[in-house]
Amino acid sequence: MMLEVSKLSAGYSNAVLAGIDLNVERGEILGIIGPNGSGKSTLLKTISAILKPMNGVVYLDGKNVHKLKPSELAKELAITTTNRSDVGFLTGFEVVSLGRYPYTDAFGRLSERDVEIVMEALRLVNAEYLADKPFSEMSDGEKQKIMIARALAQQPKVLLLDEPTSFLDAKHRVEIPLILRRIANEKGIAIVLTTHDIELAVRICDRIVMVKDGRVVAEGYAEDLDSEIVKELYGIGVAEFDPFLGTFELKGEGRAKIHVVCGGGSGARVMRLLTKNRIPFTAGVIHENDIDFYIAKHCAVGVVKERPYEEIRDETLEDAFRLVENCDLVVDTGFPIGKINARNLEVLRTAKRVYSLRSKKELEKIDLDAEVIRMADLLKICKY
């Protein structure tokens, strides 16, 4: 076990955290998630020895981190926070080279080996092009790359990151997590990161620890994240987390006058568009193993479902007919038609008005009387 936190209590004048236990192995990414003020940053600062624990111990390879000299700890563990130090007019290379301070002589001189390690750290974070660029002229995403590279230059066994994607643009919100995953895989570095972004945690973390009110309320593999625990953790009522999709979906509510016939992922955009504009709808028939089903069960106010890989049964079809009968219009998302869902065409043919995202040629081919629309027109039609 590389990093172990045992019965840790920590805080400032009063304890913010109490009785925390966790562990991280080599090459593993552990995500600590929870609402703001839950104690995530305090936990990270205590693990890194910025704060002293009130109770408990933090071990790194069996050594108490709070009893190590700063120069010794810097060779074992590195941390990046959301706070940006004022480094004046230093270039990217010079900032990263600061990570070599535990290894340099009294004058801070870099050896050829130190330079190689700095350039390798820049390469690992896709930032070689930033070596000669002044840090003050970099974007937030570029600065984050440099700070991670500086931490890597320390050649740590454990890397701690506090909210690594906060305030970043879309490009770097995608790139930084992928960089962290590569660091863990290629270098075998154990990574502990805090975040309030559950979707990020699910995508890159091996395990997740949920913290609320200073205590661990749940932990486990990212793929086993439970929607009810997430709802309790964040107190969210207007949206639900779907573990299968790894995303939050807005909840639909109200009396539906629109029915959506979809499948094969063709309904995702339509259902999300209607839900965020507070237009209630029903959906179906959708097979339970279809990605559209996972979205519909949150967004739609009613869903007709069928068992996976089975043709639509008579009783299921009747349920769909009843929903359509109570609706003013039906939206055909242009779902791919196969043997198991072909009877959805019967659902469409019983509707009073059908608007379809298919082409006229395709509608003629399947003999469906519907008005062709574009996604851009859908909202206007559904609001009628």
Report the pLDDT value the prediction gives residue 125, as an integer from 0 to 100.
Answer: 94
**With bands split at pLDDT 50, 70 and 90, how would you rate the model's confidence at 228?**
confident
Q: How far apart are CA 364 and CA 242, in angstroms?
A: 37
Q: Is the pLDDT of residue 234 over 90?
A: no
Q: How far apart are CA 325 and CA 318, in angstroms?
A: 10
Q: How far apart are CA 33 and CA 199, in angstroms?
A: 11
Report the pLDDT value the prediction gives residue 206, as an integer from 0 to 100.
Answer: 92
Report the pLDDT value the prediction gives residue 237, as an integer from 0 to 100.
Answer: 65
Determine the average pLDDT of the residues in 342-369. Answer: 93
Report the pLDDT value the prediction gives residue 195, as an integer from 0 to 100.
Answer: 87
Report the pLDDT value the prediction gives residue 147, as an integer from 0 to 100.
Answer: 93
Report the pLDDT value the prediction gives residue 107, as an integer from 0 to 100.
Answer: 67
- What does the block give as tokens for 202? 């699910």
Residue matched to tokens 């055909």? 332
Determine the average pLDDT of the residues in 136-146. Answer: 92
Which residues have CB under 8 Å from 118's CB, separation 6+?
93, 96, 97, 99, 100, 110, 149, 153
Q: How far apart are CA 3 and CA 63, in angstroms?
A: 9
Q: How far apart are CA 118 and CA 150, in angstroms?
A: 8
Report the pLDDT value the prediction gives residue 84, as an integer from 0 to 100.
Answer: 66
Determine the average pLDDT of the residues in 217-239. Answer: 74
